[in-house]
């Protein structure tokens, strides 16, 4: 069988162009009426948009012909093993690595570090999100293997998140909920979701629509909880530091 890596590429190019066209139109409108940026900056922005267009197109093409089929194939093979419990530790590793490679997570971490003036380091936030998603993917694999309802994870998870909000600063609350959306980026929604569907297909008596899906909801919840816990730790650190300063000032 002859493999054509560019099969359906024209349709993807059209979809990406339709998605980016409104952004380009808005930018040009603001440039004409408000921004008045120099020609060099406008040219650089246009080159960046072109690179974004090509990057998204090639990425989506790779997802369609390789990423999703690979994830589904790996899931169906692993679940057929006599020791299919290995899916849980594999899910932990994949969850960690998939967030570590997620481009949107990198952008979020850099913005948080920049806006906070280095108070919240990008690496610390990155590893916090990686650990959170790692645990969620491991739990998702366990849920599929045992046939546990998604509600047993989602409802308690959001109840815990609402409780943690009361004891966490507004800064970490805002970062936490943004992290939940960012973590469910193209890397997670393609490979990990395909892996879960492949696992559900390989299990006898499992409905892939019921068991395979729902993983993204767990992945969206995990960063919220992990960042809120990080906020609690930061809050204790701040309280300890303030108490130390007060005791030093009294001694002086």
pLDDT tens digits for 199-220? Answer: 888 887 777 777 778 888 888 9
Residue 105 to residue 251: CA distance in whole angstroms: 45
CB 172 within 8 A of CB 228: yes
How sure is the predictor about 187, in pLDDT bands with cuts at 50, 70 and 90? confident
User: Which candidate, 16, 114, 95, places its Cα nearest to that of 63?
Assistant: 16
- The pLDDT of residue 29 is above 70: yes
pLDDT for the residue 73: 87
Tokens 């892939």 belong to residue: 208
pLDDT for the residue 118: 84
Report pLDDT digits (tens) over 162-181.
999 998 888 899 999 999 88
pLDDT for the residue 240: 65
Residue 75 makes CB contacts below 8 A (sequence gap 6+) with 87, 194, 195, 196, 197, 198, 199, 200, 201, 202
Residue 60 to residue 197: CA distance in whole angstroms: 19
Work out the angle at residue 154's Cα, subtended by the Cα atoms of residues 151 and 233, and round it to the nearest 5 degrees.
150
Q: What is the pTM of this model?
A: 0.81
How sure is the predictor about 238, in pLDDT bands with cuts at 50, 70 and 90? low
Kindly state the average pLDDT of the residues 232-239. 78
Q: How many CB atoms lie within 10 A of CB 15?
A: 13
Kindly state the average pLDDT of the residues 238-250. 66
Kindly state the average pLDDT of the residues 121-143. 93
DSSP 207: -
């Amino acid at each position: 069988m002859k493999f054509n890596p560019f099969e359906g590429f024209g349709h993807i190019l059209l979809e990406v162009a339709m998605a980016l066209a409104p952004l380009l139109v808005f930018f040009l409108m603001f440039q004409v009426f408000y921004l008045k940026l120099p020609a060099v900056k406008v040219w650089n922005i246009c080159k960046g948009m072109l690179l974004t267009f090509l990057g998204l197109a090639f990425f989506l093409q790779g997802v369609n012909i390789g990423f999703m089929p690979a994830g589904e194939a790996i899931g169906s093979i692993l679940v057929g093993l006599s020791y299919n419990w290995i899916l849980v530790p594999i899910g932990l590793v994949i969850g960690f690595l998939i967030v570590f490679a997620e481009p949107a997570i990198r952008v979020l971490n850099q913005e948080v570090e920049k806006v906070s003036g280095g108070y919240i380091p990008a690496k610390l936030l990155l590893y916090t999100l990686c650990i959170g998603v790692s645990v969620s993917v491991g739990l998702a694999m366990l849920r599929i293997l045992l046939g546990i309802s998604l509600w047993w994870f989602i409802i308690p998870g959001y109840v815990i998140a609402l409780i943690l909000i009361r004891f966490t600063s507004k800064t970490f609350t805002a970062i936490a909920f943004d992290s939940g959306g960012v973590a469910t980026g193209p890397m997670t929604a393609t490979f990990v979701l395909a892996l879960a569907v492949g696992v559900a297909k390989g299990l006898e008596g499992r409905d892939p629509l019921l068991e395979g899906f729902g993983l993204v909801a767990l992945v969206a919840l995990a960063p919220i909880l992990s960042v809120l816990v990080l906020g609690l730790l930061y809050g204790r650190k701040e309280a300890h530091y303030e108490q130390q300063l007060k005791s030093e000032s009294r001694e002086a």
